[in-house]
Chain A
Amino acid sequence: MQWPQPGFNFTPAYQISGLPYALTGTATSAPAYHVQFPYVTKFITVKADGGSLKIGFTANGVAGTNYFSISNNDTVTFEVRVKEMYIDGAHTFHIIAGLTGIPTASIPTLTGSYPFSSSDPYFTGSNSFTNVLTYEGIG
């Protein structure tokens, strides 16, 4: 019998230092550049190189108003747990992320596109939304 895999809410996985993930590329628009991490992130550091970039966590969000702008030559770090992010722009980006050992299959899909219900934000009443986490602020 093997040890079970750590899940999305397994706190100790976020307390040790991350496994390194480094990527340099050129951002795109419509659609934005899609970065997929091999494990759930502990933190993400992004640098914009050559011009400003927008980052977001859904394609719809980064194309709308759910984005964070990073100015040219600025570097910003976010301690967020995600399996993917989107980078919108036409300039070079540099990413260093710290990864947990949590498989991305265990992380819910984050979206703001389903109707939000404050009384049932996880949509536990509907099986079709079992692995979806929806809230305002994602897009």
Chain B
Amino acid sequence: MQYPSPGYNDVPAYLASGLPYVTASSASTTPVKISFPYVTKFITIHSNTSSLDVGFTEFGVSNSNHFTIGSNGYATFEVRVKEIYLKKPSGAGTVNFQILAGLTGIPTASIPTLTGSFTFNASDPYHTGSASFENFIVYSPGLG
């Protein structure tokens, strides 16, 4: 019998240093999605040709739920996600970026989908009253 996989809220998985994930690519004004093989402990991004918008949903990065990294800027976020979206804020051409993330050993299948697009209900933010929303975490603003 194998040990069970750690879940999304398994604290020790976030206390150990991360397994490295590195990638270099480019983005235009169309969002690029980066999917991680395991849930992240932190994400460091370098934007080295112009500014770069970072978000956690495609809608969010295309609208107001994003963080902008300046040209030749670095940013580190200690967030637990399975995907991020990157895009060039405006103009023609592309922006080169590199990502170095620290991964936990938590499988991404255990992480809920984060979204702000469902109707937010403060009294039931996880939509537990609806089976169709069981694996979503919904809050807005903040995600998009």
A and B co-occur in one complex: yes
Chain B's interface size range is 20 to 34
Distance from A89 Cβ to chain B, minimum over Cβ atoms (Å): 14
Judge whether A17 is part of the interface by a CB distance below 8 angstroms.
no
Given contacts A14-B15, A71-B48, A136-B37, contact A80 B102 (CB under 8 A): yes
Given contacts A65-B24, A135-B38, A137-B37, contact A9 B46 (CB under 8 A): no
Judge whether B111 is part of the interface by a CB distance below 8 angstroms.
no
Judge whether B143 is part of the interface by a CB distance below 8 angstroms.
no
Distance from A119 Cβ to chain B, minimum over Cβ atoms (Å): 11
Judge whether B136 is part of the interface by a CB distance below 8 angstroms.
no
Contact B102 A79 (CB under 8 A): yes
Comparing B54-62, B93-101, B115-123, B124-132, the segment that makes contact with chain A is B93-101
Given contacts A69-B46, A71-B72, A137-B101, contact A80 B20 (CB under 8 A): yes
Distance from A31 Cβ to chain B, minimum over Cβ atoms (Å): 17
Q: Which residues of B contact A70 (CB under 8 A)?
A: 46
Q: Which residues of A contact B72 (CB under 8 A)?
A: 71
Q: Which residues of B contact A121 (CB under 8 A)?
A: 37
Judge whether B91 is part of the interface by a CB distance below 8 angstroms.
no
B8-43 interface bits toward A, Cβ cutoff 8 Å, 1 = contact, 0 = none: 000010011111111111000000000011100110
List residues 51-85 of chain B with CB under 8 A from any CB of chain A: 72, 74
* A66 touches which of B22, B41, B46, B103 (Cβ 8 Å): B22
Q: Which residues of B contact A57 (CB under 8 A)?
A: 20, 22
Contact B99 A41 (CB under 8 A): no
Judge whether A11 is part of the interface by a CB distance below 8 angstroms.
yes
Contact B98 A76 (CB under 8 A): no
Tell me, in angstroms, the Cα distance from A13 to B100 when the chains sit together: 22
- Nearest B-chain residue to A42, judged by Cβ: B17
Given contacts A67-B98, A68-B99, A79-B42, contact A41 B17 (CB under 8 A): yes
Q: Which residues of A contact B37 (CB under 8 A)?
A: 116, 118, 121, 135-137
Given contacts A78-B20, A79-B102, A137-B37, contact A68 B25 (CB under 8 A): no
Distance from B6 Cβ to chain A, minimum over Cβ atoms (Å): 10
Which residues in B have some Cβ–Cβ distance to A below 8 Å? 2, 12, 15-25, 36-38, 41-42, 44, 46, 48, 72, 74, 98-103, 105
Provide 9 A-B residue pairs closer than 8 Å at the C-beta atoms, listed in order of the A residue: A11-B12, A56-B22, A57-B20, A65-B24, A65-B25, A66-B23, A69-B46, A78-B102, A137-B36
